Amino acid sequence: MGEAGEKASRKPRADSLRNRERLLDAARQVFSAGGPEASLEAVARAAELGIGTLYRHFPTREALFQAVYAREVDELANLARDLAGGPDSGEALKTWLRAALRMIATKKGMAAALRPAVDTCAPFYTDTAARMRQAAEALVRPGALRGELRDDVTGEDIVTVLISLSYGTARPDWQGATGRMLDIFVDGLRRG
Amino acid sequence: MGEAGEKASRKPRADSLRNRERLLDAARQVFSAGGPEASLEAVARAAELGIGTLYRHFPTREALFQAVYAREVDELANLARDLAGGPDSGEALKTWLRAALRMIATKKGMAAALRPAVDTCAPFYTDTAARMRQAAEALVRPGALRGELRDDVTGEDIVTVLISLSYGTARPDWQGATGRMLDIFVDGLRRG
DNA sequence: AGTTATACGGAGGATGCCTCCGTTTTGCAA
DNA sequence: TTGCAAAACGGAGGCATCCTCCGTATAACT
C-alpha cells in the first residue's frame, strides 16, 4: 500500500481533475457576475462542459458554493486565530467581522454560499459552516470568560448575524451600513 | 358624480372580488405550508382558479405577498405608534421588535414578503416598506433626540436588521435566538 | 494493445414562470 | 328582459431551469 493506508484504488483521471478546475473557475466568474442565483447550466456553458459533468462533480448548488469559496473561508479562519489572542475581544470581533464583510462584498455570492452554513438542520453538516462557527467562537469565548462580553452568545450566533445581514442587501451604501450594524451589535455584546 | 370625484366607472365585477379573496386565502395557506418560494401555480391550484387569473390580480409575487400580509403590517405600524410615546425608547424598540418577530414566526413567509421592502432600489417602492420604515423611525427618533440612543441609525436600518435576522433561519430554537440577537442590537444602540 | 473502470455529454421528463388570446361572465342601459 | 360590450376567466404554450439517466468516449492499468 503505497499511500497513507488508502484503499489501493486507481489514480483519479486527469480529465476529471482538469474539468473540476474549469468548473470552479467558471462558477467564480458566473456567480460573481450574475449573483448566486445564476443558473448552473450557465456555469456549465461557461466551462464549456456538459451539465452532467457539473452535476457529477458538485451534486448540489451548495456543494459548488462550498468548493468555490473554500479558500476565502480558510482565510477568515486563520484571521480569527490570529486575532483571538488580543486583549480586547470586542475590538477583535469587530475587526474580524469587518474583514469578513469586505470579503463578502468583493465576492458576490459568498454570503449566499455561507447561508446554508447557518442552517443547523441542513441535510449535511457543511465543513464550511463548522469552520466559520469555530472561528467566531474562538473570538467570543475569551471575552466571555473574562466577563468582558455576554456569555450567552455562541460563535454560531455571530456567524448567523454576519451572514444574515450580508445576504441580499442590494442597497448602494450596503457595505457601510452593514458594517455599522455589525459594530452596533458588538457594542451590545459588551457588558456594562 | 356620485362618489368622491372618481371617474364614473363600472362597478367591479362580483367574480373578480370573490376570486381575489380566494387567491389571498389560498396564498396564505400555501405560503404558510410550503414557504415563500412555493410556486404560484400551486397557489392558483389551491384557489381552484387558473394561473392567468392569479397573474391578473397580482402581477408579481411581491404584489401577492404585499396583499397577503398587509393586515399584519398595519398592526405593527399601529403598535409602533402606541409605543412611541414611552419614556425609554430602547425598551419600546425591544418590545416592538419582539412583537414583529412573533408575528413573523407565526406567519411563515412574512419575512420573505417584507424582504423586498428592505431593498431600497427595488423597482417599485412598496407601501409596506414605507410603513415599516416609518414605524421604526418613530420609535428611534425620540431616543436619538434625547441622546439616549445613537443618532446615526435610521428606521430603515432597524427594519433591515429585523428582516435580515428573521429571514430564512430554519433552526428549531430560531425565535429565541433571534430575539436575543435583536435585544443585543438594541443594547448596542444605547449611548454608553 | 486490450481491458475496464471512470468520466463525459446532452437528451429528456418534470416543474415553474409568465403571456396571450379565445371564451365566458357580468354589469348596465334600452 | 334583453342585448351588448367591458371585464374577467382559464389554460395552452413558449421559454428557462432543474436534475437524472445512460450510451459513448477516454484515461489508467496490465
Inter-chain CB proximity A184 and B160 less than 8 Å:
no
* Last-in-domain residue among A68, A100, A131: A68
* pLDDT tens-place string over residues B140-149: 999 999 999 9
**Claim to verify: residue B90 and residue B54 sit in the same structural domain:** no
- CB contacts < 8 A, A to B, total 82
Query: Does the residue B6 lie in any domain?
Result: no
Mean pLDDT of chain A: 89
User: Using 50, 70 and 90 to split pLDDT, how confident is the model at B2?
Assistant: very low
Report the C-alpha gap between A45 and B156 in whole angstroms: 40
Report the residue of A120, A158, A164 to disrupt the B interface, i.e. the one with the largest count of B CBs within 10 Å: A164
- Please give the angle made by the CA atoms of A149, A152 and A154, to the nearest 5 degrees: 90
**Claim to verify: residue B76 and residue B26 sit in the same structural domain:** no
Give the DSSP letter string of A48-72.
T--HHHHHHH-SSHHHHHHHHTHHH
A14 or A10: whose pLDDT is higher? A14
**Claim to verify: residue B83 and residue B149 sit in the same structural domain:** yes
Residues facing residue A190 across a β-bridge: A149
In percent, how much of chain B has pLDDT > 70?
89
Structural contact between residues B23 and B58, judged by C-beta atoms closer than 8 angstroms = yes
**Claim to verify: residue A63 and residue A92 sit in the same structural domain:** no
Report the C-alpha gap between A164 and B123 in whole angstroms: 23
Query: Does the residue A159 lie in any domain?
Result: yes
Query: Does the residue B165 lie in any domain?
Result: yes
Q: Provide the 8-state DSSP code for B149.
A: B
Q: Which residue in B171, B172, B188 is closest to A184 by CB distance?
A: B188
**Claim to verify: residue A121 and residue A58 sit in the same structural domain:** no
Question: Which amino acid does the sequence have at B37?
Answer: E
* Last-in-domain residue among A68, A103, A130: A68
**Claim to verify: residue B161 and residue B179 sit in the same structural domain:** yes
Nearest CA in chain A to B169: A119
**Claim to verify: residue B160 and residue B117 sit in the same structural domain:** yes
**Claim to verify: residue B85 and residue B105 sit in the same structural domain:** yes
User: A40, A31, A87: which is closest to A60 by C-alpha?
Assistant: A40
Report the C-alpha gap between B126 and B110 in whole angstroms: 15
How far does the CA of residue A11 sit from the closest CA of chain B (Å)? 41
**Claim to verify: residue A18 and residue A100 sit in the same structural domain:** no
Spatial neighbors of A49 by CB under 8 A, at least 6 apart, are: A19, A22, A23
Q: Number of structural domains, chain B?
A: 2
**Claim to verify: residue A56 and residue A84 sit in the same structural domain:** no
* Last-in-domain residue among A50, A68, A86: A68
- CATH of residue B40's domain is 1.10.10.60
* pLDDT tens-place string over residues B87-133: 999 999 999 999 999 999 888 778 877 877 676 655 555 788 889 99
User: B91, B191, B95: which is closest to B151 by C-alpha?
Assistant: B191
Asked whether strand C has any atom less than 7 Å from the CB of B55, the reply is yes
Question: B172 to chain A: which residues are within 8 Å by CB?
Answer: 120-121
Residues across chain B? 192
Q: Specify the pLDDT at position A59.
A: 97
Give the DSSP letter string of B51-97.
HHHHHHH-SSHHHHHHHHHHHHHHHHHHHHHHHTTSS-HHHHHHHHH
CA neighbours closer than 13 Å in the CB half-sphere of residue B38: 23
* pLDDT tens-place string over residues B154-178: 999 999 999 999 986 667 788 999 9
Is residue A150 predicted with pLDDT exceeding 50? yes
Asked whether strand D has any atom less than 7 Å from the CB of A7, the reply is no
* pLDDT tens-place string over residues B63-81: 999 999 999 999 999 999 9
How far does the CA of residue B189 sit from the closest CA of chain A (Å)? 6
- CATH of residue B159's domain is 1.10.357.10
Mean pLDDT in residue range A46-52: 98
Give me the domain span that covers residue A111.
Answer: 70-189
**Claim to verify: residue B33 and residue B121 sit in the same structural domain:** no
**Claim to verify: residue B81 and residue B141 sit in the same structural domain:** yes
Structural contact between residues A158 and B106, judged by C-beta atoms closer than 8 angstroms = no
- Please give the angle made by the CA atoms of A157, B184 and A98, to the nearest 5 degrees: 60
Mean pLDDT of chain B: 89
Query: Does the residue A5 lie in any domain?
Result: no
Residues 127-146 of B with CB within 7 A of strand D: none
* b/e code B138-148 from CB counts within 10 Å (16+ = b): bbbbbbbeeeb
CA-based end-to-end distance of chain A: 61
